[in-house]
Amino acid sequence: MKTALVIRHLAFEDLGSFAEPIAAAGYSIRYVEAGMQLIPAEAADADLLIVLGGPIGVYQTEDYPFLTDEAALLRGRLGRDAPTLGVCLGGQLMAAALGARVYPGGAGKEIGFAPISLTQAGRQSALAALVEPEAEVLHWHGDTFDLPDGAALLASSALYPHQAFAVGRRGLALQFHPEAEKDGLERWLIGHTAELSAAGVSIAGLRAAAAAKAPGLAERSRRFIARWLADIDA
């Protein structure tokens, strides 16, 4: 059986709606808890590496030195075009691993359900399954990044132009969160209460939006990840 190694920075930010399609594609899923567990040696050669999100910044390496190890792991895998997916912090780490700048976004926090627009390359990618029949996804970030040299921009939003990029044929970085599910999001509302309060985000409003929009996003998310896994195995 193939192995999907998943680096998780918060217990409640897990694979969510990605888990079922990944297992259905024949992968055994193994989580590694960032900061609590060392990255195993086999991560470099895992059949699939996924680096999930978290509330810390890529540039906070003095406070969180394990970020340096994650970036080095990503740099090696991307250099070999090994199947690699980054979500939010994971996507930012991919950008940093490729030499791009990651920094606090000037437009402020982007939190909530909002559309993304696909580039021509994005419309030809697995992301096309995510934005049909609607294009709203969950955003939850304050940092942004420059597009790495040689990367293909796949998606933008009204606030931030760099929402997704591809590296080679098997590397994909996402700024947004297609994996988050309605029930699991309640844990986000609790765990990120300080961030939501500081950003002036209505928890009740975000909960209501999740009830209306997260189920459809989850279904599209499952189609998206299944198509991406098929594409990288082709």
Q: Please give the Cα distance from 93 to 115 (Å, whole number).
A: 23
* Angle, CA of 67, 70 and 72, to the nearest 5°: 110
This prediction has a pTM of 0.97
d(CA 114, CA 137): 6
Q: 2-233 — its CATH code?
A: 3.40.50.880
Which tokens is 16 given? 């969510």
Strand partners, 201: none
Q: Which two tokens stand for residue 4?
A: 């999907």
Domain spans in the chain, listed from the N-terminal domain onward: 2-233
pLDDT (0 to 100) of residue 135: 75
pLDDT of amino acid 185: 96
Q: Read out DSSP for 60-109?
A: -TTT-THHHHHHHHHHHHHHTT--EEEETHHHHHHHHHTT--EEE-TT--
Cα-Cα-Cα-Cα torsion 90, 91, 97, 101, nearest 10 degrees, comes to -120
Residue-wise pLDDT tens for the chain (234 aa)? 999 999 999 999 999 999 999 999 999 999 999 999 999 999 999 999 999 999 999 999 999 999 999 999 999 999 999 999 999 999 999 999 999 999 999 999 999 999 999 999 999 999 999 997 667 999 999 999 999 999 999 999 999 999 999 999 999 999 999 999 999 999 999 999 999 999 999 999 999 999 999 999 999 999 999 999 999 997
pLDDT of residue 132: 77
